[in-house]
Amino acid sequence: MPELVFFSGTMDCGKSTLALQIGHNRSARGLQGVIFTRDDRAGEGKLSSRLGLVTEAVEVSESMDVYGYLVDQLSTGGRVDYVIVDEAQFLALEQIDQLARVVDDLGLDVFAFGITTDFRTKLFPGSQRLIELADRIEALQVEALCWCGARATHNARTLGGEMVVEGAQVVVGDVNHPVEDTGYEVLCRRHHLRRMTAASARAGALSPDVLPVTQA
């Protein structure tokens, strides 16, 4: 039976890498799929992983009818055996409903990948809808790590290395960013609550008020 499967996790836990692997495995068996993405770090119409792998994808705009796009492909002689959606947290609620319809009406497996909560620990609307509709929810098994070495469970937005908790829900950035730019970092709950990023922890450790150094 076809399924809508939601693969979720924090940033930096291998979601895009798994999406690429699923596509590779199926194409190696002669299957043809459609890959959708939105706001990928590599640019429009790209699905990329932090390991350096990149493939072409269909960019989902705010007004795009995902179900209608696939129906057009099939009705004009195109072949679609499965669907992959990366950055699914950015999709609109109606687009998530369309993915469920792709499974039910077109009989295609849909593999959606996304992070569950934003930098404020609030659910992305797209992820919430996927949790409500998915046939199966899979937590990624590759654990991202906080700077302290503990399991990272929260996504943080940073500006100049300092954690911020206000602003628009979606601002495209990356975990590999210059410290003066807007970026993202994964933290354990304890350090997310304390707003302690790797940069601020390093600065605190170097402060003579925190760690006095005496010479023999």
Which positions are annotated as active-site residues? 87
Q: How many CB atoms lie within 10 A of CB 27?
A: 13
Whether 10 and 153 have beta carbons less than 8 Å apart is answered as yes
